[in-house]
Amino acid sequence: MSSTEDLDYPQILFQYNHGFLVSKVMFTACELGVFDLLLESEGPLSSDAIAERLGTSASGMERLLDACVGLKLLGVEMKSEGAFYRNTEFSNLYLTKSGPKSQYHHLMYYSKTVYFCWHYLTDAVRDGKNQYERAFGISSEDLFGALYRSEKEMIKFMYFLNSFWSICGRDVIAAFDLSPFTVIYDVGGCAGGLAQECISLYPNSTVTIYDLPKVVQVAKERFVPPEEHRITFHEGDFFKDPIPEADLYILARILHDWADDKCMQLLAKIHKACKAGGGVLLVETLLNEDKTGPLDAQLFSLMMLVHTEGKERTPTEYSKLLTAAGFREIQVKKTGKFYDAILGKK
């Protein structure tokens, strides 16, 4: 075991402090369109050419591009005329708007919304509640009224959530064999990214996205093609309105938004509506039982403090909620990725 003398504390602190700077470099390059421009170009471009096309200063762009090279987000070729920059495979895949696994909208939501709220993390820890009022001057008494404080902000969130499912959705949908469940409700299914992963893996199933009317309207217009008849919609507030009968209910990134009493209210309501032999699938980032990790879950739990009324939980904590609501045969699957899955049956 290493002693404290073996640890280079200044270097560790330096790396932690640089985490913010690294994120901002990536956010800025995405926002300015660096990766999209290089994807569309016929070959590598000089920093002057990139600056001219994107309308930035030459000196600022050169420094940004060099930082992206250092982060391995860009490659560089040295020619007699100077440095010429190109995307890496990673950037083409994840950082361009049109990439097959694009995280552009995810990164922009972090840059414009999440990071702004995290400025008030100290206040959130002191107060024990989210910081929408300080960050945006809006009451969070209605949590999703604050989250969807404008149509533009709601659409940004929907793109943000969909980008997650493009890289994490298949893992959680495949964690258990869901083929026996043919009538599925994706409760709070938002833009439908997880529903599309579900019908892709289980073609004999139909998925109904249950969400607020304004969310459903945008999902129909922007995200789910009208010819996809295996995905349907149900407008409603799942706390206030009836939940129809189904074989399986998916709650993906839902319970972590709410305190235990609200979670119990929703789970009990779902249990009552669920067909005999049916079930509920929870998709969440699970803490270890002793809460010593993983780091992603610990950080995400802090995010829930800053943004919501909820928290991340351990498998046992979720199992207790499910059992109290009447579910049985509870199974937990760690995917090894960002999200895990818990299945409970009626």
* Cα separation, 231 vs 196, whole angstroms: 8
Spot the catalytic one: 105, 256, 271, 307: 256
Catalytic annotation present for 256: yes
Helices and strands per DSSP (H, E), number in the chain = 16, 10
Give yes or no for a contact between 271 and 243, defined as CB atoms under 8 angstroms apart.
Answer: no
Mapping DSSP to helix (H, G, I), strand (E, B) and coil, where does residue 330 land?
Answer: strand
* Cα separation, 102 vs 93, whole angstroms: 6
Tokens 């987000």 sit at which residue?
73
Q: In degrees, to the nearest 5, what angle opens at C-alpha 113 toward C-alphas 112 and 119?
A: 100
- What contacts 189, CB < 8 A, 6 or more positions away? 195, 207, 209, 210, 211, 219, 250, 252
Catalytic machinery residues: 256
